[in-house]
Each structure stands twice: as structure tokens, then as C-alpha cells.
Structure 1
Amino acid sequence: MIYQPPTALPSNLLTVVEMRSALEQHDFGTVFRLARSQAGISYSKIAAECDIKPERVGALARGRGKVTTFEKIVHIADALRIPGHLIGLAPRPWEREETSAHLSSTQNGTNVRRRTVLQAATSTGLAAALPTLHRAPTPRRVTADYVSALRERTARLRRLDDLLGGGDTYRVYLGEYQSTKALLREATYAETTERLLLSLLAEQAQQAGWAAFDGGRETDAVALYKESHAAAREADDSDLLGNSLAFLAYQAIADDQRGAVEIAGRACATITPGTPTGVRALLHERMAWACAVAGQPTEAERALEAARTALDKREATERQPDWAAWGDRTELDIMTGRCWTELRRPLRAVPVLEDALARYADTHARDKALYLSWLADAYLTAGEVEQAAHVTNRALGLATGVASVRPRRRLASVLHQLKRHKGLDAVDDALARAVA
């Protein structure tokens, strides 16, 4: 039997309009109030299961305060058995367990297996439905050529991230990382090959960490970024060392903006005369973003200019690591627009975002939906409500079916602002699409 916490919300309560609206807005005070009034779940039980002080649960239910940290939102979702899609998360592990148990109890044989695989493909991501990816047999002694082949495999698998969200790719990337870690532990190799393996491990840990972050597994992401940092340092790979710090800075922004700027500065400090221009641009971009979120316009603009200078110096014959290949002028323009949006400079943000996103293919649905959220935000800051609604509507369409928590999470704040303008056709259309 699958464990059900005493605070699990009844399924019929999850269909109540007020509850659905509260979940969409992450208004957990209303969620707690409805849980008590409609389902008889006491605040003391909620406090115990959610690891929140009882007085704070009561205060939230009275409309005082908000729950904002990702970790606490996940904790509440699991304690109250709130399906992930209702609050912008990937499906929670217990959802898969419940679905599997239900299928097992209702049908048998081949049909059950077929439906289970289909359920895995739609609710837990591509990797959960796939068998283990084929891998060539490991030689007795690992050579530099073998590591090179593994790096090429990692580059091919990275292309999945162009089309799929972290909810689909996390297990694939984590499996590659764990396989390389096993090689380091069990295989034999020369000292020079060991450094190559450690460098590969750092690269794979970053890719798995990124997928974890994108799929809503932020604790896993931080752990993987730290593993990457340690492996890159041991391999004496300054490029991957800097990128691991850039990832950690990006992750830290939500909770510690000043700390994120400091970590991003350490990432840029790893740049040497031999650092590839693409890596330089990438590290400076992340520095710009940290500064923008921290409200430092001068520093953000300086970092953006450094990134632009790096790309201007790129030569066609210069070799770039595959993990930095996505950083081009279009991405830099988008980051520029994002920074000016965060700094509340819509007149600078809108033109550059409009131009860059016109060059950005819809096939990159997750990223384009995410970037459109900043364009919508910039339009709202400029007072262009209807245009913001049109952009939001388009972003919602692209985000549908993508296994990533980030677009919906970003769009939630935009939708919250749009609700103040109900009655405008464009706004009502966007809000209706969000509910659907």
C-alpha cells in the first residue's frame, strides 16, 4: 500500500475553482485555509507535515506572508499531495507510484505493461520510459581515445536539451555521469587518462545538474554542480571550473543575490589568455545576469560588453568546447534583454528581445517560452498590457507539454499581474489559456 500523509488533499477539493486559482498563484495561505474548512485538516497537522511553525501556518491562512522558496513549495506539494502540474512542477515521485499502483490493480498482462510505459512517457519523462541507453563494452584498460569517444557521445546526447525539458533528460544525463564515475572507481588507466576522465565527469555533472534544475530538482542540481566543481579542480580544467561556478551562481540568485554576484565573479576570475572566446562570453553573460538581478546596472552593462567583446574576437577556426557552443550573438542579445527587463528598463529591453526572438526558432519551445516571459514582463513594465498578454499567450502555447518547470514558473508572475486587467480581450484570452 502506498503511504498517504494525513494532510493529503481530497481529489475533489483539487477541482474547486478557488483552490485551483490559489495553487496557480502559489497562495498557500488560501490552500491551508481551504484544507481546514473543506477537508477538516487542522493547521497543526499541516504545520507538522510541512515543517512550518504552527503560528506561521495560521498567519499565512489569514493572508499574512507568502511561501517563496522552491524547497518549501516542493515540501508542501508532497505533504498535501498536490500534483506537480497544478503548481508548475514536474510530476512528483509519489504521482508515478500512485499511477503504477492503480494500473497494476485494475489490469494485468501485456496491456498493463503497455499502459505503464505510455504513462511513464507522458508523466515522468522520456528517460523513464526508455530502456538503458546502449553503451559499448568497457575495455579492460581505459585509454585517451576511449574517453574521447565518450565525450563525443556526451555531445550527441546534449542535443536532447535543444528540444526536451529537464524532466525528460535528467535520467539520461545522470546515467552518463554515474557511468563515468564508475569508470573512475573501477577501471584501470594512466594518470593522463584519469585527468581526461575527471574532466568528462565535470562536464557530465554540469549537464545533469542543468537538467535537474530545469526539471525542478534544485537540491540535486546544487549537489551535481558541486561535484562538477570538485572534479574540474582535480582535473585542472579551468574552463569547466569556471562554468561550474557560473552554474552555482545562477542557482544561488533566488536566495542570495549578493552571494550570486560574488560566485559569478569567481567564475570570471578563472578566465585566462587561453580561455576559448565562447567560454569567456558565457561566463560574462552569467555575471551580467547576477548583477542585473542584484540591481547593479553599471556592473551588468560592463559584463554584457565583455561578453560581446569576447564574441567579436571569435575566429572561425577557433575550437570551442561543445558545452559552450550554444552561446552565440542571439543568446547574448536575449540575455541583454533579460538583464534590462530585470533592471526595469523596458525601452532598452523590448527592442533587443523582439529582434532576437524573431531569429529564435519555435522548435526550441522551452527556451523560447522562457525568453518570451521576459518580453511580456518588459511590456508590462512599459504599460503595454495587451501586448504583454499576446506575448504571454504565445509563450503558454510553446510551454505546453514541455517537461520543464521554468517557463510556467516565470509566467506565473506575469499572469498574476495580468489579472488586474481582466476585461481586456487579449488578457482574458491569455488567462483562459493558462487555466486550460
Structure 2
Amino acid sequence: MTGHVPPTALPGELLERPDVRSALAAHDFGTVFHVARAEAGISYSQIAAECGIKPERVGTLARGDGKVTSFEKIVRIADALRIPGHLVGLAARPWETPAEAVDAGRRDFLKTSAAASLAVGLPELSRPSTGGRVGSDLPEQLRQRTARLRRLDDVLGGGDTYRTYLGEYQRTRSLLRHRSYTEATGRGLLSVLAEQAQQAGWAAFDGGWHAEARGLYEASQKAADDAGDAELAGNALAFLAYQGLRGDGRERQGAVQTAARSCATAGADAAPGVRALLYERLAWAHAVAGHGDETERALDAAGAALGEIDGEPQPDWAAWVDETELQIMAGRCWTELRRPLRAVPVLESALARYDDSHARDKALYLSWLADSYLTAGEVEQAATVTGRALDLSSGVASVRPRERLEPVLARLGEHQALPAVADILEQARA
């Protein structure tokens, strides 16, 4: 993607103009299309072809009639016109140069400080011995390194971490291809590769690069199968199910089946933390599909698995699942199922213990709380919570908070006569 510059790429001087920047911030792509044709010589037919929009629709938008609201279309337009992500509320796109990818000061500070803290104590990798053969300790070194780098995801979005995680995955894949090792070491390297592919896939998903995410999840499943690592194979399926829930009714039903298969693949002998994670994701799949009873059973299974941990170490990639995270997932599920009397208390309780330093995740979780308040008819409270989510998500290199908040803001728009709501809608536009 970085090597191909589409014919619709906007010149840098246009992107610097205040009127164009204002239009981009408001997602007023009709104005942008008009300027692109009038001042950059980019025809509407070219824009239509690159953006996947019907030519007549491009002309209609350019005349000021209608607006682009689909998240996928906004991403497609940004990539086709080479609009840096931060100008339209997205994470940095894969084709952006480091200079173009610079975002808010907080994000840069967090990125620098997080990277610096990770550098301290990051396991050093031993060099392959003479002849290109790697030692039996290398898989464990790589696993510790992967666990350390995973902490970046606590404070940064996928737009910041994707290249780092992808680089780790590619390095391990190169080792597997070009070095020699024992059969046991090879299985260990494949297991680490599966783990790294999942982390890179998650960052891609968080950054809005869904084709890349799916490819990495599928590669992870194959590596885990080849390594004989049932737990990681199950988690790869859980990631694929999570992504499949973005689709229509048929795709969602398929995602539920994949989520159920993830639990079966990991098996009853999987570590309790792994089973808790997979059952939690199964609950989410059922909730999105509208299956209330199945959702509750899966949440109960996740809670029972958590109760088995009893201080025993769990795989690092599953260790983040605890009682607070399970409460939040339960609240998310009840929100999806339109049961605010169950959702609001658990989300309020859990989020009161959730630190603001986890800005992306807290913004996401607050969006479900705001959604449930709206369903309950508590509009002013929903507006307050939405404002907190907007503040936290500002400058985070993740597409998901904005994606989640869009439908909440649309519902709030029905009550824009209320001053509290009008203020939040203005904040969102800004």
C-alpha cells in the first residue's frame, strides 16, 4: 500500500488550507471533492473509482446534498485521497510517513515514555550460534520479549503499535525460515509466532486495517495448529469471531459458531484464564447476535473459569482478564441486548475502578455506558458520559472509540434541543 500513490491523492498544499481542513474535520467530503476537481484537476469519475462511490453520488455530494456517514467509506476516502488519518479522526494510515503520522502531543508523549520504559528490562536476544542454528532457549526469550512489548497496548492504539508488532512477527517468521533448530525448538518458535501474529492482528484491527488483521489471525491459527498449541489456536479463532461480528446477520451467526469453536479448540484442559477469555468472547458474540440466554450461560462459564485461577500463573496474553474486565464485558453484553437495568450498575461499578491512563479502552467502555443510559431514557447522563469518552479518546491512535461513539452521538442528536446534549454534539464536531 505504501508504494502505490492513487491518482486521486490530494496535493499537500490543499491539505494545509484552512477551508479544506475544516471540511475534513466535519467529514464534509462534498466540499473536498469539489476542491479536488476545481483546483487539483481530479475528476469525479476518478474519485468515484478510487473511493468505491457511484459517480452520480460524488457529484451530488459535491453540490452540498448529503453527507458521508459510513465509517468504512470514510476510511476508503481517506486512503484514496491520501488524507492523513488525524485530519478525519482516524489513526495514522499504513501509507503515512512518520512526519504525516504525527498526532496530538499527548500521544507522542505516551509513545515516547512507553517505549522508553519498555526498553528497560526488555529481554536481549541471543545471537544464533555458528552455522545458523538457534538455541533451545530462544523461544522463551522471544515469549518474554513479546509479553513486554504487549504492555504498549495498555496506553497506545493500534495506529502506533502495529508496525512494532508486525516487525516482531516478521522477525520470528524469518528465523523459522532461514535458521536450523531442533523439532522441539521449532514448535516453540511456531507457538511464539502465533502469539505475535495475534498481537499484530489486534493492532491492525484497532487501527482500522481489517484485511491485514484477518490475514494475521489466519496465519496465527495455522502456526498454532502446527505448533500443537490448542490454547493459541482457540484464541486465533476467537479473534476471527470478534472481527466477523462487524458483518451482517449471516456473518454474525457464523461468528457465533467460530467463537463456540474457539472454546472447543482450546478444550477443557486449557488454563482457567484462557477459558475465561474465550467464554467472555463467546458471550459477546451471542449478545451481538441477540441471544440472551446463551449470553448469560457464557458469562457464567467465564466467571467459573476465573474462579479456578487461585493465584496460578496464566499465559501472559490472557492474564489481563480479571473480575473487572468480566464485569465490563457483562455490561457491554447487556447493553447490546438492550437491558440497561442490568448494564448500568455493573459498568458504573467497574469503570469507577478503571484508570484513565487506559484511555482507549475506558473511552470504549464508557460508550456502552452512555448507550445504556440512552436506552433507559437518561439523556443528560448519557451526554455527560459521552463527553468523558470523547475527552479520553482524543489523540488515541485507534479507530474504535470514534466508531463506537458515532451511533451514540446519532442517538443523542435526537435530543439536541437539550443544552447538555448540544454541548456534547459541538464537542464531537470540534
Could you state the TM-score of these two structures normalised by the residue count of structure 2? Answer: 0.85
More off after superposition, 305-314 vs 275-284: 305-314
1:210 corresponds to which letter in structure 2?
W
**Shift in Å, 1:303:** 1.0
Aligned residue number for residue 219 of structure 2: 227
AA paired with 2:20? L
Which position in structure 1 is the counterpart of 2:231?
239
Please state whether the residue corresponding to 1:188 is helix, strand or coil.
Answer: coil
Q: Indicate conservation of the 8 Å contact 2:123/2:141, yes or no.
A: no
Q: Which residue of 2 aligns with 1:50?
A: 51
Matches within 5 A, 1:37-436: 40=38, 42-54=43-55, 57=58, 68=70, 70=72, 72-93=73-94, 95-96=96-97, 99=100, 122=108, 135-140=124-129, 141-255=133-247, 256-316=251-311, 318-436=312-430
Q: Structure 2 vs 1, CA of residues 6 and 222 (structure 1 numbering), >3 Å: closer, same or farther?
A: closer
- Matches of 1:32 and 1:16 in 2, distance apart? 12
Task: In structure 2, give the amino acid aligned to 1:293.
Answer: V
Which stretch has the larger CA shift, 82-91 or 163-172? 82-91
Q: Which amino acid aligns with 2:244?
A: A
SS in 2 for 1:245: helix
Tell me how far apart the structure 1 counterparts of residues 87 and 103 of structure 2 sit (CA, whole Å): 23
Name the TM-score, length of structure 1 as normaliser.
Answer: 0.84
The verdict on how the C-alpha distance between 1:303 and 1:56 changes in structure 2, with shifts beyond 3 A counting, is: farther
Q: Is the 8 A contact 1:164 1:403 kept in 2?
A: yes
Indicate the larger mover: 89-98 or 189-198. Answer: 89-98
Structure 1 CA distance for aligned equivalents of residues 25 and 141 of structure 2: 49
Give the unaligned 5+ runs of structure 2.
none
In angstroms, what is the RMSD of aligned CA positions?
A: 3.3
2:160 and 2:245 map into 1 onto residues whose CA distance is: 25
CA distance in 1, matches of 2:32, 2:174: 49
- 1:271 is displaced (CA, Å) by 3.4
Task: Work out the percentage of aligned pairs sharing the same amino acid.
Answer: 59
Contact preservation (8 Å) 2:29, 2:68: no
| Counterparts of 1:259 and 1:64, CA distance in 2 | 34
Q: CA deviation at 1:6?
A: 3.9
CA distance in 2, matches of 1:384, 1:85: 32
Distance in 2 between residues matched to 1:319 and 1:34, nearest whole Å: 54
SS of equivalent residue, structure 1 residue 144:
coil
Instruction: Provide the rounded CA distance (Å) in 1 between the counterparts of 2:397 and 2:212.
Output: 17
Q: Which string of whole-angstrom CA distances, capped at 9 and with x for unpartnered residues, describes residues 45-86 of structure 1?
A: 32222233435656878978976463x432211223433224
Q: Distance in 2 between matches of 1:59 and 1:258?
A: 36
Q: Which amino acid aligns with 1:373?
A: S
Q: Give me the whole-angstrom Cα distance separating, in 1, the residues matched to 2:159 and 2:36.
A: 33
| Distance across 2 between alignment mates of 1:402 and 1:7 | 25
Q: Number of paired residues?
A: 409
CA 1:240–1:60: 2 relative to 1, 3 Å: farther
CA distance in 1 between partners of 2:341 and 2:136 (Å): 52
SS of aligned partner of 1:96: coil
